[in-house]
A and B are shown apart, each in its own frame.
Chain A
Amino acid sequence: MKTPRDLLVVDDEEVITQAVLRVCEADGLTVDVADSAAAALARLEHGTYRLIVCDVMMADVDGFAFLAEMGRRQDHTPVIMSTGMSTMENAVRALNSGAIDFVPKPFTADELLTAVRRGMNYAKLQHAAAAMPGTLPDSIAWVPCPPDYYRLGFSSWLVQEPAGTVKVGVTDLFLKTLDAVQLATLSAAGYDVVQGASCAVLTAMGGLEHSVLSPVTGRIVETNRAVAAAPAVMERDPYFEGWLYRVLPSELQYDLQHLTACSSDRL
């Protein structure tokens, strides 16, 4: 019988696994640590976890190979990736490889906790979906984004507009992993956004701040005032009324390579 636990931390630096352990245990979670991808896979043989926090750069097998191995094993435990090489490319690659979130190192206790709580909520949604009859084990109940949309992980989406601009917003699933957004802090028109970097901060109940990673690189030409005034618009209609920005993309074709077409979610 596998022992259920909340969190598995995978990192080859002991100081980090211990730090994560302390922070998350203080938050009331049960935590296991592994100092390598091999050790983590061994632990997954014996126990189940609701969430995994995994480093990208590890001595033996790196985080991406670990994700791939989990895919082969049909293990659907959600994974949050983290790395000291906190480049946008790594972030985008992680989200594109099946990680549900990306936390750049070094992180504060709060930054870690917001990501872990979102992960926990994601796991909860996943379990709820699995419990419903007739669904695939890895699919969860969410409003799928419209077919001509593209998404970055499950964080944000974009849709191309005839004028050459793109609209950017937050996915339904991302919003569901937050506890009721209280405040949406958006950048003004004229600011530049970079794919994989934070473009907006959503403050949830309890004051935790969640960063929305931009799906595209370009310049903001318009900010949705309705969302800034009342964040609930996003939750009500995340894919239409609840858009965040209209962006003039600088290298859309390049950026699209790192996004998932929403039409592929409907297979």
Chain B
Amino acid sequence: MFRKLGLKLTVAVGVIALVTIGIFAYFNSRNDNRSLLAEVERHANQLSEAVKSSTEYDMLLNQRERIHETITRMGTQSSIQRIRIMNKSGAVIYSSDTAEIGKMVDKKAEACTMCHSADTPLERLEMKDRTRVFRIHPDSARTLGIINPIYNTRSCSEAACHAHPRSQLVLGVLDVTLPLAEVDKDIRQGQVQVFIFAVAAILALSLIIGLLVTRWVAMPVRALVEATRHVAGGDLNYVIPETRDDELGMLARSFNNMTRKLSDARLQLVQSDKLASLGRLAAGVAHEINNPLTGVLTYSSFLMKRAKDQPDVQEDLKVIVRETIRCREIVKSLLDFARQSVPKKAPADVNDIITRAATVVENQLAINHVRLVRELAADVPPITVDANQLQQVFINLFVNASDAIGPDAGGGAITVTTSRLTLSPVGITQIKQAQCPKRHSLINTEVRIDGKPSIRVKAKANGNEGFIYRDPMFGMSRHQFGVALEPGMAVQVTCPDCASALNVEASPCPQCGSATFQFEVPSRGMVEGCTNRACTWQRWAELERLGDREFVEMRIRDTGCGITRDEIPRIFEPFFSTKGQKGTGLGLAVIWGIIDNHNGTITVESEVGKGTTFVIRIPVEP
């Protein structure tokens, strides 16, 4: 595609250059031609006047020999082809070509037609009409001829010889012809030069445009196409180098921004899914381990009671009991993690929580020479949170940041900022609960859309029936249809469990006119949707009534070592740690769980060597 685009642009520029340079070259060459010819004409005229005046005196004296001599001599000059004088009856009287003398010139000859084309010959001729350009033979060089009429003057009619009566107006004509071979050569040379210049200019322009298009358009577009391929293939970490400031650079930046947002969203989804499966796994493991552990603990503690009179045996048994109880605590903490006990929420001021967390870690930060800078907005509204859990989040993040800066960096800074911001709920609100009028859940965990459980309803039309799996993200329309429905068809939508009707009667879709249906999100009102696969209409009056949602945003920025791009998607996974043996790896997973329990989001931005920023957003209305 971009190849074509580059080629098209190059060809277009080439054609435009060809036309403009061609027209310019044509007119330029024609002008050159004209001015050269005019110059030659002027020269010929001067020459003819010179011949006329140099022979005039001899004519008056009728010294024919002298006239003949003058004309023959002048005619020998290479720049003059021929000089001749004809009398009124057309006989050549003088000529530099002596063989011609005495011959009659036909009125139709090229030299005579200017005056003699009409029945009565002209007596006065304009300058431009006196010259003529002709070829003696079709393949000889061009020749310029100039006619100079010799008029009867007083001195002629009153001269001693009385050769010319007074009534005669024109006595004869002086005809001078000059060869144009040199001039033609100049003209041709000029034309060749212009042609070469034009071709070179067109080629150079096309080449330069081609190169620039390749460099400025084709290459960045190719990078973009490459990036879309990577993203389509699932690699959301692919980044286009942002080296340019033009529109394509902006496109690359917004593309990168888009993939980062997508990647964040996917991370959150995968994370919630993973934590849910981990919870199930942990619960299963806890049950499986606790049974054998019960055997060990009961027998060993029982033995310990019975071995009261054997202190050495009792000491050993104590170790077994103590260690088994330790196992029990580990399993319990795993269960606690999986369950992530329901947060005990109450309205709290985030700034206070941050200040409290800061007090806890102050000493630890001081050891690493890390400054904790607080930029807390005064207008942050109170949010309903579990203050203890949130404090734990901040303590963990501060300690992580301090570890990332490390003791060898000679200090650093952690900046924590709070602010309020407003975001539209459309496209970011997940429908987590959905039910039919008889309170059957419509949430389907088998068909997931973008990793989230879909909302399943049964649809029936024209004897066909099947399921519609709706996108759980309100505002998105990645629904999956298991039944063929035509727009505008009469469709019955029902609950898959109890067959209660979900149709909204007499309320066709305002966008496409197809049948609509609705389900309830407990305590958050009804969500309406359209049965037309191609239609994106949906309405959640309750959510839309609330308008944009207010969030409190908390950013924790450090000047530490940063996280590599490869690691970012994994940092919220349980047991993932960049601290090697130092950390247990549960920290960020727990933080993620806490923020998710508050219906919030946590994302991370990081650059290796520059630092890391964690961004937490929690809705003001829970």
Cβ B305 vs Cβ A109 within 8 A: yes
For A16, what are the chain B residues with a Cβ–Cβ distance below 8 Å? 291, 294-295, 298
Cβ B290 vs Cβ A106 within 8 A: yes
Query: Who on chain A is nearest to B325 by CB?
Result: A108
Interface assignment of A13: CB less than 8 Å from any CB of chain B: yes
Cβ A108 vs Cβ B321 within 8 A: yes
Interface assignment of A19: CB less than 8 Å from any CB of chain B: yes
- Picked from A26, A105, A110, the residue with its CB within 8 Å of the CB of B294 is A105
**Distance of A144 from chain B, by nearest CB (Å):** 31
- Picked from A13, A22, A87, A194, the residue with its CB within 8 Å of the CB of B302 is A22
- Number of A-B contacts defined by CB within 8 Å: 88
For A23, what are the chain B residues with a Cβ–Cβ distance below 8 Å? 298, 302
- Picked from B283, B298, B335, B388, the residue with its CB within 8 Å of the CB of A106 is B298
Cβ A19 vs Cβ B302 within 8 A: yes
- Taking CB atoms and an 8 Å cut-off, the chain A residues in 211-228 that contact chain B are 217-218
Cβ B344 vs Cβ A109 within 8 A: no
Interface assignment of A15: CB less than 8 Å from any CB of chain B: yes
For B325, what are the chain A residues with a Cβ–Cβ distance below 8 Å? 108
For A88, what are the chain B residues with a Cβ–Cβ distance below 8 Å? 341
For B283, what are the chain A residues with a Cβ–Cβ distance below 8 Å? 85
**Distance of B337 from chain A, by nearest CB (Å):** 12
Cβ B344 vs Cβ A15 within 8 A: no
For B295, what are the chain A residues with a Cβ–Cβ distance below 8 Å? 13, 15-16, 18-19
Interface assignment of B233: CB less than 8 Å from any CB of chain A: no
- Taking CB atoms and an 8 Å cut-off, the chain A residues in 89-133 that contact chain B are 105-110, 112
Cβ B290 vs Cβ A84 within 8 A: yes
- Picked from B286, B306, B388, the residue with its CB within 8 Å of the CB of A84 is B286
Interchain CA distance A250-B321 in the complex, whole Å: 36
Asked if A107 meets B298 with Cβ closer than 8 Å, knowing A85-B286, A87-B335, the reply is yes
Contact with A along B270-299 (1 / 0, CB 8 A): 000000000000010011111111111111
Interface assignment of A57: CB less than 8 Å from any CB of chain B: yes
Interchain CA distance A254-B341 in the complex, whole Å: 13
For B294, what are the chain A residues with a Cβ–Cβ distance below 8 Å? 13, 15-16, 19, 84, 105-107
Cβ A109 vs Cβ B301 within 8 A: yes
For A85, what are the chain B residues with a Cβ–Cβ distance below 8 Å? 283, 286-287, 290, 335
Query: Who on chain B is nearest to A23 by CB?
Result: B302
- Picked from B287, B289, B292, B345, the residue with its CB within 8 Å of the CB of A250 is B345
Asked if A250 meets B302 with Cβ closer than 8 Å, knowing A15-B291, A105-B293, the reply is no
Interface assignment of B332: CB less than 8 Å from any CB of chain A: yes
Cβ B298 vs Cβ A218 within 8 A: no
Cβ B299 vs Cβ A19 within 8 A: yes
Interchain CA distance A7-B306 in the complex, whole Å: 21
Interface assignment of A45: CB less than 8 Å from any CB of chain B: no
- Taking CB atoms and an 8 Å cut-off, the chain A residues in 158-186 that contact chain B are none
Interchain CA distance A192-B302 in the complex, whole Å: 32
Interchain CA distance A57-B292 in the complex, whole Å: 14
Cβ B297 vs Cβ A218 within 8 A: no
For B296, what are the chain A residues with a Cβ–Cβ distance below 8 Å? 106
Interface assignment of B546: CB less than 8 Å from any CB of chain A: no
Interface assignment of A187: CB less than 8 Å from any CB of chain B: no
Asked if A106 meets B302 with Cβ closer than 8 Å, knowing A218-B344, A250-B345, A251-B344, the reply is no
Interchain CA distance A108-B299 in the complex, whole Å: 8
For B328, what are the chain A residues with a Cβ–Cβ distance below 8 Å? 106
- Picked from B291, B297, B335, the residue with its CB within 8 Å of the CB of A108 is B297
For B345, what are the chain A residues with a Cβ–Cβ distance below 8 Å? 250-251
Asked if A108 meets B298 with Cβ closer than 8 Å, knowing A13-B291, A87-B339, the reply is yes
Interface assignment of A10: CB less than 8 Å from any CB of chain B: no
Contact with A along B291-331 (1 / 0, CB 8 A): 11111111101101110000000000000010011001000
Cβ A106 vs Cβ B324 within 8 A: yes
**Distance of A75 from chain B, by nearest CB (Å):** 26
For A37, what are the chain B residues with a Cβ–Cβ distance below 8 Å? none
For B388, what are the chain A residues with a Cβ–Cβ distance below 8 Å? 192
For A13, what are the chain B residues with a Cβ–Cβ distance below 8 Å? 291-292, 294-295
For B339, what are the chain A residues with a Cβ–Cβ distance below 8 Å? 87
**Most interface-central of B294, B345, B346, B388 (chain A CB within 10 A):** B294
Cβ A110 vs Cβ B301 within 8 A: yes
Interface assignment of B1: CB less than 8 Å from any CB of chain A: no
Interface assignment of B342: CB less than 8 Å from any CB of chain A: yes
Interchain CA distance A108-B388 in the complex, whole Å: 32
Cβ A107 vs Cβ B291 within 8 A: no
For A217, what are the chain B residues with a Cβ–Cβ distance below 8 Å? 344
- Picked from B290, B302, B342, B346, the residue with its CB within 8 Å of the CB of A26 is B302
Cβ A106 vs Cβ B297 within 8 A: yes
Contact with A along B323-365 (1 / 0, CB 8 A): 0110010001001000101101110000000000000000000
For A86, what are the chain B residues with a Cβ–Cβ distance below 8 Å? 286, 290, 332, 335
Interchain CA distance A16-B324 in the complex, whole Å: 15
Interface assignment of A200: CB less than 8 Å from any CB of chain B: no
For B335, what are the chain A residues with a Cβ–Cβ distance below 8 Å? 85-87
Cβ A57 vs Cβ B287 within 8 A: yes
Interface assignment of A20: CB less than 8 Å from any CB of chain B: yes
- Picked from A20, A192, A250, the residue with its CB within 8 Å of the CB of B298 is A20
Please provide the 4 A-B residue pairs with the shortest distance between their CB atoms, ordered closest to farther. Answer: A84-B290, A250-B344, A15-B295, A19-B298
21 residue pairs of the A-B complex, CB under 8 angstroms, read A13-B295, A15-B291, A16-B295, A18-B295, A20-B298, A26-B306, A84-B289, A86-B332, A86-B335, A87-B335, A105-B294, A106-B290, A106-B294, A107-B298, A108-B297, A109-B301, A110-B301, A192-B344, A194-B341, A250-B345, A251-B344
